[in-house]
Structure 1
Amino acid sequence: MKRPLLDAPTAELASWMLERGHPPYRARQVVRWVFDRRAESFDAMSDLPKGLRAELDAEWIVFGTTLAHHHVSPDGTDKLLLRCQDGRTVECVLMAEGDRRTVCISSQVGCGMGCVFCASGLKGVERNLTTAEILEQVLRSRNMLPPDDRLTNLVVMGMGESLANLDNLIPALDRLCSPEGLNFGQRRVTISTVGLPEKMRKLADLDRQYHLAVSLHAPTPGLRDELVPINAKVGLGPVMEAADAYFRMTGRQVTFEYVLLADLNDRPEDAEALGALLVGRKAHVNLIPYNPVAGLPYRRPSADSIRRFERIVEGRGVSVSVRKTKGREIDAACGQLRRRSQADAEGPTVVPFGRP
């Protein structure tokens, strides 16, 4: 099996070049072709000698993932299902709004956190994604944009618990944010976590400017234990303390994600409790109306319930917004397309499709 090019740091690729009698600077040329010039094959790298391109093609592959499905919703949201070399699949989403071009990527195949309303974790976690598999989600999404367009924001909010794969995620993000990569601003990157206190503190210790989003979903320990089972092990208090520590150490305001589930966590008393939990903290609440998952019993709240909840939290002096739902027509909630694809695996092959 050929090795994905992005599995190797540039220094390792330079050593590979030198061992075969090629100038080490050729490694930087190859990397620039992938990051700057959107090459997806060695044949496209026209300023490399043909012999070198043939040698590269014999041992390496530019992207180890292949496109299994490409769905586009009427609002322009692109959802990609990528197949890894071991046959497992992972999702990423490209969203466009105004001047913003945001890609949402996954960090694991599946998820082990067990949030009861989420499609990603219905079958648990299978494995961590490699650094190359994380990078490829970003580059494949970027390559779908017009040549003069670029990504503006990156969110690690897809399948998996981001902080459970820090060892592969951080090298990928650091490379994307380096001049050798996409020269992406660290402050335009958001890492989401269900709330793993030790990992949150470890991320803070790395001295990066990545934005942290905590998937809270409930304002009290009992309700959070019910909706986010990992909370029974880590506790709501330690999660909030780690979020406070992240703000102190990085100066970056923490966002708290809150999926609104009808008649479960969208009641006025829940909004009052959420406001009481966050008042006085440098924090922002992102309310997310539930995107229904087939086979799960949870429902999206009414528009009136969402507005009421927002007003109550805001009335406690807490910054709050409601996330605009995008891509509902294409199963854009993380894990849904992969789940549907697995259910169809024994049926006829689905031909990828995109814009006409």
Structure 2
Amino acid sequence: MVEIKGLTFKELEEFVQSLGLERYRAKQIAQWLYKKRVKTFEEMTNISKQARKLLSEKAVIDVLRLVKVEESSDGTRKYLFELPDGNRVESVFIPERDWNTLCVSTQVGCPVGCTFCLTAKDGFTRNLTVAEIVDQYIHVQRDVGEKRRISNVVFMGMGEPLLNFDNVKKAVEIMTHRDMLDLSTRKVTISTVGIVPGIERMAKEMSKVKLAVSLHATSDDLREKLVPLNRRYSIKDIMRALRRYPADNVRRIMIEYVMLEGVNDSLEDAKRLAKLVKGLKVKVNLIPFNYYPGAPFKPTPRERIEAFQRVLWNHNIAAFIRDSKGQDISAACGMLRTKEKACHA
């Protein structure tokens, strides 16, 4: 069966033609899938009954099953989805005053193994398909309703997006196509731990979307302990790739830096970070660590994060502190999945 939400618009046209249907049917089907978010082909009432029957024999619409939703007092919603093979992934809906953001997963587990990340504890199982990525958006938009349209998508959930590059690229194409989800490319952000070949491919193939790089340290010695993949792609390698990346004032590169008490949060760290990114069109996102039971690190106190931020501003580096959402639910990435697994063990 074809996962129809995994087809780009061109592929959808080719698919309907392979079934003996007219090419213009692709646009009609896309409208039903992405604008009206139907669950069955039977709901596509401007398509003949025979065509609907044929489509239902050859393709599947929904590939995810919603298992659980947790809602925070601030409106943040965390979703646990089951995939066709029984694996599970998470998505997070984050409401803001003027926009709504969806954080999507790209892999089951993660092969990178960052020592502060809960998702890494379960290791890596597989990449998500294109449809499994896109379907997260569809399911969440159905749940939150039309009045709260998801305007921003961040590839910052479970997994390393650039290690699933081809499927992520196709998912972005579907999300930004005018006849599909019709998001602005400027509202899509892909976060990487620093996969240099992936950053270089992004520069050539997806430079219209925003790039975020999870740096988390200012020396290779420390970064290798926090992000083992640093042994393959050093800070110097990452910075070299970023200096060649086509950023501008509208699409600045985001440097993500999780604040770990007594580990990477000194004022000297801040000065080294300012030196590293000097001359780049970047903004720095300081992320309070989301503590989870058994975590080997503690969150940096707020006042120290603010002192770190001041050092960056004093060096003319735009630095912001991420507003931690969903603190009264399973906030850390992977926590809801882990909790549910423990409940059914």
TM-score, L = length of structure 2: 0.93
Residue of structure 2 equivalent to 1:350: none
Partner Cα distance (1:31, 1:44) in 2: 13
Residue of structure 1 equivalent to 2:212: 213
Residue of structure 1 equivalent to 2:177: 178
C-alpha distance after superposition, 1:72-91 (max 9, x if no partner): 11110111111111111111
Matches within 5 A, 1:291-302: 291-302=290-301
Secondary structure at 2:67's aligned position in 1? Answer: strand
What amino acid is aligned across from residue 90 of structure 1 in structure 2? Answer: V
Secondary structure at 1:52's aligned position in 2? Answer: helix
What amino acid is aligned across from residue 80 of structure 2 in structure 1? Answer: L
Residue of structure 1 equivalent to 2:119: 120
Measured at CA, do residues 11 and 245 of structure 1 come closer, stay the same or move farther in structure 2, by a change above 3 Å? closer
Q: For residue 224 of structure 1, report the CA deviation from its aligned partner.
A: 0.9
Residue of structure 2 equivalent to 1:101: 100
Measured at CA, do residues 256 and 24 of structure 1 come closer, stay the same or move farther in structure 2, by a change above 3 Å? same
Partner Cα distance (2:275, 2:233) in 1: 21
In the alignment, is the contact (CA less than 8 A) between 1:271 and 1:312 conserved in 2?
yes
Matches within 5 A, 1:1-356: 2-14=1-13, 17-18=16-17, 22-206=21-205, 208-247=207-246, 252-346=251-345
Measured at CA, do residues 235 and 17 of structure 1 come closer, stay the same or move farther in structure 2, by a change above 3 Å? closer
What amino acid is aligned across from residue 175 of structure 2 in structure 1? Answer: L
Structure 1 residue runs without a partner (length 5+): 347-356
More divergent stretch after superposition (197-206 vs 8-17)? 8-17
What amino acid is aligned across from residue 116 of structure 2 in structure 1? Answer: F
Partner Cα distance (1:177, 1:27) in 2: 16
C-alpha distance after superposition, 1:250-277 (max 9, x if no partner): 9832110000011111122222221222
Measured at CA, do residues 178 and 18 of structure 1 come closer, stay the same or move farther in structure 2, by a change above 3 Å? closer
More divergent stretch after superposition (326-335 vs 38-47)? 38-47
More divergent stretch after superposition (234-243 vs 55-64)? 55-64
Secondary structure at 1:32's aligned position in 2? Answer: helix
Q: For residue 41 of structure 1, report the CA deviation from its aligned partner.
A: 2.1
Secondary structure at 2:108's aligned position in 1? Answer: strand
Secondary structure at 2:328's aligned position in 1? Answer: helix
Percent identity of paired positions between Structure 1 and Structure 2 = 36
In the alignment, is the contact (CA less than 8 A) between 1:113 and 1:230 conserved in 2?
yes
In the alignment, is the contact (CA less than 8 A) between 1:191 and 1:210 conserved in 2?
yes
In the alignment, is the contact (CA less than 8 A) between 1:135 and 1:172 conserved in 2?
yes
In the alignment, is the contact (CA less than 8 A) between 1:209 and 1:250 conserved in 2?
no
Measured at CA, do residues 46 and 324 of structure 1 come closer, stay the same or move farther in structure 2, by a change above 3 Å? same
Secondary structure at 1:281's aligned position in 2? Answer: coil
In the alignment, is the contact (CA less than 8 A) between 1:289 and 1:325 conserved in 2?
yes
In the alignment, is the contact (CA less than 8 A) between 1:7 and 1:132 conserved in 2?
yes
Q: For residue 332 of structure 1, report the CA deviation from its aligned partner.
A: 2.7
Q: For residue 19 of structure 1, report the CA deviation from its aligned partner.
A: 5.4
Secondary structure at 2:307's aligned position in 1? Answer: helix
Measured at CA, do residues 81 and 304 of structure 1 come closer, stay the same or move farther in structure 2, by a change above 3 Å? same
Q: For residue 209 of structure 1, report the CA deviation from its aligned partner.
A: 0.8
What amino acid is aligned across from residue 33 of structure 1 in structure 2? Answer: W
Secondary structure at 2:120's aligned position in 1? Answer: coil
C-alpha distance after superposition, 1:217-244 (max 9, x if no partner): 0111111111111112211100111111
Measured at CA, do residues 248 and 259 of structure 1 come closer, stay the same or move farther in structure 2, by a change above 3 Å? closer
Partner Cα distance (2:321, 2:120) in 1: 24
Partner Cα distance (1:252, 1:148) in 2: 27
